[in-house]
Amino acid sequence: MQSLSSKIYKNEFVSTFQGDESGDSTPRQTPGVFYSKVLPTPVKKVSLIGWSEELAQELELEKPSEQKDIDILGGNFVAETMAPYAACYAGHQFGHWAGQLGDGRAITLAELETTAGKTWEMQLKGAGLTPYSRRADGRAVLRSSVREYLMSEAMHYLRVPTTRALSLVTTGDMVVRDMLYNGNPQEEPGAVVMRIAPSFLRFGNFEILAARKELENLRKLSDWTINRYYPHIQGEGEAKIIAWFSEVLDRTATMIVEWLRVGFVHGVMNTDNMSILGLTIDYGPYSFLDNYDPKFTPNTTDLPGRRYAFGKQSSIAYWNLGCLAGALAPLFSGTEKLAEVLDTFESNFYGKYFTMMGNKLGLDEVKEKDITFFTNLEKFLTSFQPDMTIFYQLLIDLPQELKDEETVITHFQESFYQELDGNGKEKLFALMKTYSERLKENTSAPEQSKEQMRQHNPRFILRNYLLHQAIEELEKGENKLFLELQEALKAPYSRNADKFFAKRPGWANKKPGSSMLSCSS
């Protein structure tokens, strides 16, 4: 175990690709470069309030005790072997080409290699101005930083592909934000999260090069990405890139299926927020589902179109992969091969989705008739909108013998936000009768089926209202709920945190930050 300041860091991305070496943070277009070197902007005082000890163990880092090490986490000190930079990328935002975007408030400090040979990029979010900040200030507030810090780790423990978060610090500075973009800006405490990932490369890193017709740079980045992060892919030329694109598609489909399994809604699936490694990246106006509503989007900016609603996430992933294919197209003599791979998304996604649903329902195999049941269950959940997490938890303990309708209704009553009408009761009973009979066809024992369900249906999720309460407490100088949530998220499939096993309270339905959020942070 070493301290942050004593580590020897690597800077492979910086040493491989051309960048703007000026260090100038003035917002501008940066054609011909992959990044711009820029130092974090110092803050008043860096104070450590969140530390992911399990991740630190994997990174072979000791918890900072000296101010010099704490300062690294907030950008007030840069170790000698670090070469900080902001990456240049573009993207489609809400379906429209946005041109150059880039790391507007994120600065990658360096790459850390462990003794096991694994390399991690270390990135500060909220560390100050970069050439890609445009009209923003490059800062982040405590509100959004708490959300990213906790959710990054929560998703890891839920077994969802994700970037990680090592630390959360406050800066001692105030940052002005208009939380709901309604003309009411207010000062909020500033904060910085240190994000960790094998790579923060996005679809947009490739889109910018294609848009600028920098084909040699596009080829160079594609080859480097494959060799570094997909080393098992051999060959050369078009065949190698096709194999890589196919795997990016596969990883993306896996990620979306995992989102649906736990009820996660990203909220802003722009192509610049899509990881080339199939990781959940950029935690902004996200949410877990409370009541089951496929049309739910937590992002006020996404209204009224609801482009990024829960039920649309797979189709948006497909659309975004199409944008990536378009960016890679200049490397091909024609687009037929890319189109063929893109056309596999639906079958790839649904194959994974049906397997996932079988696991959630405790089935030892997915039969043709089960797909019909999945559809009917989805229709019921959509129509009557029980709490997704609680409904599936109650399903685990469904009595083996269903004597009458009232027994079933009473069993699931806790999960509904509104009392079921006669039609709802009838449909639920019929569904559960079908399900109960189907379980009897399993070759595995009932307890094995229940254990399978326990491992695929989370019991604890980071609900927005809980995060909002924790943030309000932190802003008052209290961290009790924050620490409780940080501990609870480490065992989401257990009963360790059953004090949080409850539906969203009525007061949270319309309260900003507890239900709907904006991109403001």
> For residues 218 and 209, is the Cβ–Cβ distance under 8 A?
yes
Q: How far is CA 364 from the centre of its chain?
A: 29
Residues whose CB falls within 8 Å of the CB of residue 460, separated by 6 or more in sequence, listed in order: 488, 489, 491, 492, 494, 496, 497, 500, 501
Element (H, E) at 210: helix 203-211
What are the CA-CA distances from residue 123 to residues 73, 168, 192, 374 (Å)?
9, 12, 10, 41
> For residues 442 and 449, is the Cβ–Cβ distance under 8 A?
yes
> For residues 165 and 148, is the Cβ–Cβ distance under 8 A?
yes
What are the CA-CA distances from residue 429 to residues 393, 419, 432 (Å)?
17, 15, 5
Q: Which of 168, 294, 183 is nearest to 518 (CA)?
A: 183
Give the separation between CA 80 and CA 379, rounded to whole angstroms. 58
> For residues 275 and 254, is the Cβ–Cβ distance under 8 A?
no
DSSP 41: P
Q: How many CB atoms lie within 10 A of CB 507?
A: 9
Show the beta-strand stretches assigned E in 89-180.
90-93, 96-100, 106-113, 119-125, 140-141, 164-177
For the record, the structure tokens of 272 come out as 């610049």
Give the active site residue among 71, 103, 272, 387.
272
Backbone phi, psi, residue 212, to 5°: -90, 5
> For residues 88 and 30, is the Cβ–Cβ distance under 8 A?
yes
Q: Which residue(s) pair with 1 in the sheet?
A: none
Which residue type, as a one-letter code, is found at position 169? V
Backbone phi, psi, residue 294, to 5°: -60, -20
Give the separation between CA 336 and CA 339, rounded to whole angstroms. 5
Give the separation between CA 27 and CA 51, rounded to whole angstroms. 32
Instruction: Specify the pairing of strand 140-141 against strand 164-177.
Output: unpaired
Give the separation between CA 424 and CA 391, rounded to whole angstroms. 14
> For residues 463 and 290, is the Cβ–Cβ distance under 8 A?
yes
Q: How many CB atoms lie within 10 A of CB 211?
A: 16
Respond yes or no: is residue 421 known to be catalytic.
no
Give Dmax over CA atoms of the chain in angstroms. Answer: 75
Enumerate the active-site residues: 272
